[in-house]
A and B are shown apart, each in its own frame.
Chain A
Amino acid sequence: MQKIHKILIGVAFSPNLKPNIFEAVRLANLFDAELVGVHVGTKSNQKKADLKALLSKADPLKKPFKAIWKEGNPVNVIIETCASEQIDLLILGAIQKENLLKYYVGSIARKITRKAPCSVLLLIKPSVARVACNYIVVNGLKDDKTEETIKTAFVFSEHLNCNKITIVEEISQGELHIKVSDDKTLRKSSIARERLSTRENQRVKHILEDIKNKNITVNTQPIFGKRGYSIGHYAKVKRADLLVMNAPNKLGFFDRIFPHDIEYILSELPTDVLIVK
């Protein structure tokens, strides 16, 4: 996914609807994309009027808004719509934990995220007024999808006028093969870490060769830690505005019980997250 033509937003008539719609409209305009709203539930004139009133308050859309009204299971409806409308980006809102500055993805949104055929953007704090995105953190895992993800991150940063990107290479602790127990092993492990870091940086540099980035400051940061978890932690520590991740490979039964990779992020969103498919 590098070009975004169609953006889908779920319309649920909740207190969050207004900021969600405003964010979606803003994004659609930034990408010159068409915005599609889908409401799972019965169609009524009242709802139609409400939606129209909201849209009229937001910035004017460059391309016409398309509303879809459908009844059924929310997860299935949204996923079907993504496929039938050839959606490029799906926007979902996160839920804030009570009284805590912690966000997570609700169970429905989580199912959608896992099954969605397109990229998904999870917003933790949709707001009516625009909050500029200044800093993007993107994963640089050794994975086939990574190149695509990094490229998408650059597309986003161009459209969002973001000028700082950090590519985080998560290296599993096990790759070190050395456990520190005294001065000698400490020295050995320090050397091994340096070597692995250089290797990872080299790999990412190779991907970056194809990307023209004049106005964007790009950093690479190797981290030794658990996949998925440490990048979320890093994004939070660094106060990133957007975290861009690879879509997970097909998840099995055990992956849900022993969460890893993206599941960590979904249970505790550090910031807005874009999952690239």
Chain B
Amino acid sequence: MEKKKAFKTFLSDIPQNLFSGFVVSLIALPLGLGLALASGAPPISGIIAAIVGGVVVSLIGGSNVTITGPGNGLVVVILAAITTLGEGNMQQGFLYTLAAIVISGIIMIVLGFLRMGSLGDFFPGSAIQGMLAAIGIGIFAKQIHVMFGNLEAKGSIVELLLYIPEGIINLLKTTDSSMFYAGLVGIGSLLIMVFYSKIRNRYFQLIPAPMWIVVLSVGMYYYFELVSTSPYPIDKNLLIALPDDILSNFAFPDFSKIYHANFINAVIAITLIASIESLLSIKAVDKLDPLKRRSNVNKDIRALGIATVISGFLGGLNVVTVIARSSVNVNNKGTNRSANFFHAAFLVAFILLFATELRKIPLPALAAILVFTGYKLASPDNIKKIFSIGSEQLIIFLITLFTTIITSLITGIIVGILITFIIHIIINKNILLFIKNILKPNVLMFKEEGKYYVSVKNFSSFLNYTKLKTKLDQIPESEEAIIDFSLCDFVDHSVMENMNNYTESFTRKGGHFEVIGLDDSKSGSEHPFALRKILPKQIIPKEGVLTKRQKSIQKISEEMHWKYYAFSAQETEELPTFGYFKTRKIDKVSNVLSNEDCTIMDVQFSEGEMIAKQVIKATILHIHTPKPVPSFTLDREGIFEYLLDFAGYRDIHIEGHSDFTRRFYLSGKNQEKIRAFFSDELVLFFESNKQYHIEATKNGLLVIGNERLSSVKEIKALAYFGMGLQKTI
């Protein structure tokens, strides 16, 4: 019975997953090509990985809303593998690397069967961050030259970085018009990537930034071809190269170097990065899942392994779970694995239908996408964030970063682990604490009066975190859990960060997760992830001097007799229940302006996770309604809604108000109740006022204007709208 029902929801969700799979494929196409190019592999190999990954993982994977395909982290390792194994011959090197990819896939399958999904927990957080930043710098250093239209730049990461200023000068001085135009396209593409998220226009945002780059650069080609009299200025070697007959030209792995040390090294590096990137992404995507499901990590790793083997045999790159594309999937309302499948299906369609057009994409345009990705992996914000956790974390981060850049990924991560351990010993001035207790079962969990109580002894760090994790994973997130560290002498940053994640996921699913016993402990900083530090439920901003805007709002509040708090932490409990905030994480609420029933506030929230993370600040209005309201959403009618209509959403028509129906897009589950709720008076009110995005749940109404902070005037208008709406209801 339940299965039948599940199948029914699956079927009814297909249209929206089809839509979201389509949007994801728009990103996956340029990214797949770009990642493959950056890896030194034929561009088609990235698309093969995405297609195989999408099909295989959606069929046998263990996660729900993840998207799989070629990954950012692997660019650096695969490039290194191709160069070292090929010994100058990139083509032959690629065939050897394919063999390494196949074997790393087999190792992933074995890891999955051995339930080694928890392997990722053995790496300290800051060391992983350092490694990812190093990968980011690696991608950035190489691709920025490609972006400037220079394909010849070669050397170590440090050399490439030092060469950047010269590269810019070369571009400006160049007499080669092909290179100059290519560089312009590259820089233009980079600008699109940077400013895309700043423009919160729905029609513009409908197409992801990488696709805009593709569309515009292909459009440029056709402009020169059809309209302009001058020939297309960019030379053919700066355009993407796809095999003429895509369906028959599969590369086949060459296993003849299988016993060489270089080969084994490559396999280890590929497997390490593939599994770490996938694990991090799966964990991060679970935080975004609107249905709050828990992924089966081991099953997913297994599926990724199988997909990697198949992809390798077909001449494709590794298949990993990717965070950026998964975030886009969630943001476009993907709800189940079919989205991943559809993304693969659309890719097949694109590559078969538009191969000619794709050949017109200049390489610098794709390189710009990667430059941006690389920058995000290694952005200074990350360093700032790590420093705020504690200076010791920054040391770990930087040492891992530099070792990785100078030597290799494997050395880098090993050094990162060692340095973390050494720093832990120095902080505690005690090595015996770790040596004597590392193998002891240090976690006790029991259920008492309906609550789960977990006590941790001795020390808790990345070294023995799995013990704690296996216990915590047995607690359903809808329950109440208390984690007591009072018998612990030392708790490290990785554990604290994970505790914070648990707190979040418990709150999301209606449970409660509390960390106690750290009040007495010393800590290096105020940051919640700092080692040995108690977790505040929310970071409360410090009282500060009011800005001009805040003073104006204060003045309004006096005029209207509303209350105003510049720094407040209330209201966040109710906001997550609104559909809008289901996939968006609220970071901070400030400038709260309220009377009894209406509350206007500035909300800072984030979309996506990790590198795909966008922080958005917006002013919203929340209205408490005296009587329960049926759940609905009300929007301006536009192209977007026609698309949604196509994707299975229905516009509810209110009888006798054809104008309202034409101008507004109203949707919700319980149509009859909603029709009853929309009285003539209310319809008239909506018709005669400014149009906002409105969402209703049993906790009241949420009114959002533009997805940005409102000016003082707009706040005033919003307040009057709220009061009017309140009265009408």
Contact = CB atoms under 8 A, between A and B. Distances in A.
A225 interface: yes
A222 B447 CA distance: 8
Contact of A237 (B293, B441, B455): B455
Contacts of A230: 441, 444
A203 interface: no
Interface stretch (A119-127, A181-189, A243-251): A181-189
B505 to A, nearest CB: 12
Contacts of B470: 180
B445 interface: yes
B444 A223 contact: yes
Contact of A234 (B294, B297, B444, B447): B444
Contact of A181 (B298, B443, B484): B298
Given A224-B445, A230-B441, A181 B296 contact: yes
Contacts of B443: 225
Nearest to A233: B444
Interface string A85-122: 00000000000000000000000000000000000000
Contacts of B474: 180, 186, 189-190, 193, 224
Nearest to B115: A179
A63 interface: no
Contacts of B296: 181-182, 185
A226 B484 contact: no
A180 B473 contact: yes
A233 B297 contact: no
Given A181-B299, A182-B62, A190-B476, A237 B444 contact: yes
Contacts of B542: none
B408 interface: no
B245 interface: no
Interface string B441-461: 101111110000101010000
A221 interface: yes
B53 to A, nearest CB: 20
Interface string A220-262: 0111111001100110110000000000000000000000000
A181 B470 CA distance: 10
A213 to B, nearest CB: 21
A21 to B, nearest CB: 32
A197 B448 CA distance: 12
**Most chain A CB neighbours (cut-off 10 Å) among B117, B298, B441:** B441
A183 B484 CA distance: 25
A164 to B, nearest CB: 14
Interface string B2-36: 00000000000000000000000000000000000
B441 A225 contact: yes
A142 B382 CA distance: 53
A183 B448 contact: no
**Most chain B CB neighbours (cut-off 10 Å) among A234, A237, A264:** A237
Nearest to A259: B440
Interface in B443-491: 443-448, 453, 455, 457, 470, 473-474, 476, 484, 487
Interface residues of B, number: 27
Contact of B440 (A224, A229, A236): A229
B295 interface: yes
A170 to B, nearest CB: 10
A146 to B, nearest CB: 19
A65 B47 CA distance: 89
Contact of A225 (B115, B295, B444): B444
B293 A234 contact: no
A52 B611 CA distance: 77
B297 A223 contact: no
Q: Is the interface of A mostly helix, strand, loop or mixed?
A: helix
Contacts of A193: 474
A256 B296 CA distance: 38
Q: Is the interface of B mostly helix, strand, loop or mixed?
A: mixed
B455 A183 contact: no
Interface string A153-191: 000000000000000000000000001111101110110
Contacts of A221: 446, 448
Nearest to A223: B446
A223 B445 contact: yes
Contacts of B295: 182
Contacts of A182: 62, 293-296, 299
A190 B475 CA distance: 8
A244 B123 CA distance: 40
Given A233-B455, A236-B487, A237-B487, A183 B445 contact: no
Contacts of A190: 474, 476
A234 B457 CA distance: 11
Nearest to B64: A182
Contacts of B455: 233, 237
Contacts of B457: 233
Contacts of B448: 221
B441 A226 contact: yes
A222 B445 CA distance: 10
A56 B479 CA distance: 58
B487 A186 contact: no
**Most chain A CB neighbours (cut-off 10 Å) among B441, B446, B476:** B446
A237 B484 contact: yes
Given A237-B484, A237-B487, A183 B444 contact: no
A237 B444 CA distance: 9
**Most chain A CB neighbours (cut-off 10 Å) among B117, B453, B473, B474:** B474
B62 A186 contact: no
B25 to A, nearest CB: 27
B293 A183 contact: yes
B42 to A, nearest CB: 37
Contacts of A226: 441
A234 B443 CA distance: 10
A225 B447 CA distance: 12
A236 B115 CA distance: 33
Contacts of B444: 223, 225, 230, 233-234, 237
B446 A222 contact: yes
Contacts of A264: 440
A200 to B, nearest CB: 12
A185 B293 CA distance: 12
B520 to A, nearest CB: 13
B283 to A, nearest CB: 13
Contacts of B299: 181-182
A267 B527 CA distance: 36
A89 B225 CA distance: 101
B445 A225 contact: yes
A120 B511 CA distance: 45
A207 to B, nearest CB: 20
Contacts of B294: 182-183, 186
A14 B79 CA distance: 70
Nearest to A181: B296
A190 B443 CA distance: 18
Interface in B32-88: 62
A186 B476 contact: yes
Contacts of B297: 181
A225 B299 CA distance: 26
23 contacts: A180-B474, A181-B62, A181-B298, A182-B294, A182-B295, A182-B296, A183-B293, A186-B294, A186-B474, A187-B476, A190-B476, A197-B447, A223-B446, A224-B445, A225-B441, A225-B443, A229-B440, A229-B441, A233-B457, A234-B446, A237-B455, A237-B484, A237-B487
Query: Ordered nearest first, which 8 A-B pairs have the shortest CB separation?
Result: A182-B296, A233-B444, A226-B441, A181-B296, A223-B446, A237-B455, A180-B473, A183-B294
Given A237-B484, A237-B487, 8 more contacts: A180-B470, A181-B296, A183-B293, A189-B474, A190-B474, A230-B444, A234-B446, A236-B487
Interface of A: 179-183, 185-187, 189-190, 193, 197, 221-226, 229-230, 233-234, 236-237, 264
Interface of B: 62, 115, 117, 293-299, 440-441, 443-448, 453, 455, 457, 470, 473-474, 476, 484, 487
